[in-house]
Amino acid sequence: MIGLSILLTSCQESMKDTITAVRADGLDATIMIGENYINEKIKEYVDADYFATKASDGVYLVKKVFNE
């Protein structure tokens, strides 16, 4: 799993570019993004698999994805 977090909304394009590069390289990685303002629309825009607005939610998702 790859986790990405951005503080500023102006960084969304860079996040999208990073995820596009990961996918283009053929890496079989699950990608989770996070920050307080992240939502489903942003997740879809940047092509991430999951999002979390709090670190504790991110931990929960990672455990769920890896069945722990």
Query: Could you list the residue range(s) of the whole structural domain that residue 29 is in?
Result: 2-65
Domain count of the fold of the chain: 1
pLDDT per residue over 18-66, tens digit each? 999 999 999 889 999 999 889 999 999 999 999 999 999 999 999 998 8
pLDDT band at 9 (very low <50, low <70, confident <90, very high): confident
Residue 8 has pLDDT above 90, yes or no: no
Domain with residue 45: its CATH number is 3.40.50.280
Q: Which residue has the tokens 């503080």?
A: 7
**Euclidean distance between the first and final Cα of the chain, in Å?**
14
Query: How far apart are alpha carbons 22 and 6 in whole angstroms?
Result: 17
Of the candidates 3, 40, 35, 37, the residue with the CA atom closest to the CA atom of residue 19: 3
